[in-house]
Amino acid sequence: MRKPRLEGKVVVVTGAAQGIGFGISEMIADEGASVVVSDINVEKGEAAAAKFREAGGKAIFVRADVASESDCAALMQTAADMFGRLDGLVNNAGWYPRSGLEQTTTEFWDKIQDINLRGPFYCCKYAVPLMRAAGGGSVVNMGSINGIQGLPNLVAYASAKGGLLTMTKTLAGAYARQRIRFNYLIPGWVLSEGEIALHAANGHSLESLQRTGESLTLGRHQTPLDSAYAAVYLLSDESVQVTGTVLNVDAGASSLPIQSADLYVG
């Protein structure tokens, strides 16, 4: 019988109540990890953890706002207290409303940085000592094509995801000797709940969004599963020699000409 790829590992996933984080959590629970589902949305987060348990997985929900240092510290400690160790962290919580340079207020800039960059910093800061105690660990930072080549209407978000890329490489160097790995995963265009809501607010129906899928480089929008396969690899011992890298699951979007650039919000 095939051995689950994450058996015995304890993994925290932020922003796991829906979208890509939900998909990653579901797959890593299925691969034998004990999953700490974390989010600010308590109702959906609790429901997600319950669903993974009903399917035979090990999962709990912990409410944490990644913009809060004390929440992130408590989240990591709860994971270790509940499951005895901490091996993995997926810094997935993110927020990506659009704004060009001249429309971006200080408050908007700060909120985007708080969720997309300061949050992963806090989570790494409090996960690392626990991973060191476990003899090593793996951190997956959810990146974006915007972290490499930002779109004009995502100035603050692109800056945050670019900072997250540099943080990933910096920490990979800083903690390699302690066997704590840091990698940057770039999803393609996923029609997550957040993505659909953002486009609905801008007058784009789900049907019109779905039609754009056929024009994308590999012929369809992505699902959370596409990122989840990559996250399982990065969290597992299969990638034990992989750190400081970018795992690009963007369907060629960063290599090939950008399509539907007015809609793509990464």
Ligand X SMILES: NC(=O)c1ccc[n+]([C@@H]2O[C@H](COP(=O)([O-])OP(=O)(O)OC[C@H]3O[C@@H](n4cnc5c(N)ncnc54)[C@H](O)[C@@H]3O)[C@@H](O)[C@H]2O)c1
**Can 157 be counted among the known catalytic residues?**
yes
* Nearer Cβ to ligand X (48/131): 48
Contact 63, 45 (CB under 8 A): yes
Q: Which of residues 197-256 bind ligand X (CB under 6 A)?
A: none
Q: Which stretch binds ligand X (CB under 6 A): 4-12, 91-99, 172-180, 235-243?
A: 91-99
Between residue 129 and residue 188, which ones bind ligand X under the rule CB under 6 A?
142, 144, 187
- Applying CB under 6 A, among 189, 209, 216, 253 the residue interacting with ligand X is 189
The rounded distance, in Å, linking the Cα atoms of 259 and 263 is 9
One character per residue 102-121, x = contact with ligand X (rule: CB under 6 A): -------------x------
> Per-residue x/- marks for ligand X, 58-77, CB under 6 A?
-------xxx----------
Supply the Cα-derived Rg of the chain in whole angstroms. 17
* Cβ neighbours of residue 122 closer than 8 Å, sequence gap 6 or more: 66, 68, 69, 72, 73
Q: What are phi and psi of 183, to 5 degrees?
A: -135, 160
Residue whose CB is nearest to ligand X in the complex, by number: 194
Which of positions 19-48 make contact with ligand X (CB under 6 A)?
19-21, 39-41
Answer whether 72's CB lies under 8 Å from 60's CB. Answer: no
Kindly tell me the burial class for residue 187, based on how many C-beta atoms sit within 10 Å of its own C-beta (0-12, 13-18, 19 or more).
buried
195 touches ligand X (CB under 6 A): yes
Contact (Cβ atoms closer than 8 angstroms) between residue 227 and residue 235: no
Smallest separation (angstroms) from ligand X to the CB of 168: 13
Our CB check for ligand X shows the closer of 18 and 248 to be: 18
Which residue in the set 52, 61, 83, 95 belongs to the binding site for ligand X (CB under 6 A)? 95
Residue from 57, 94, 120, 137 binding ligand X (CB under 6 A): 94
Phi, psi (degrees; rounded to nearest 5) at 56: 100, 5
Q: Which among 122, 126, 157, 264 is annotated as catalytic?
A: 157
* Smallest separation, CB 170 to ligand X (Å): 19
Distance separating alpha carbons of residues 245 and 197, to the nearest angstrom: 31
Going edge to edge, which strands form the sheet with 34-39?
A: 58-63, 34-39, 10-13, 88-91, 137-142, 180-187, 246-249
From the list 111, 82, 110, 107, the residue with the least C-alpha distance to 10 is: 82
CB of 85 to ligand X, least distance (A): 23
- Interface ranges with ligand X (CB under 6 A): 14-15, 17-21, 39-41, 65-67, 92-96, 115, 142, 144, 187, 189-190, 192-195, 266
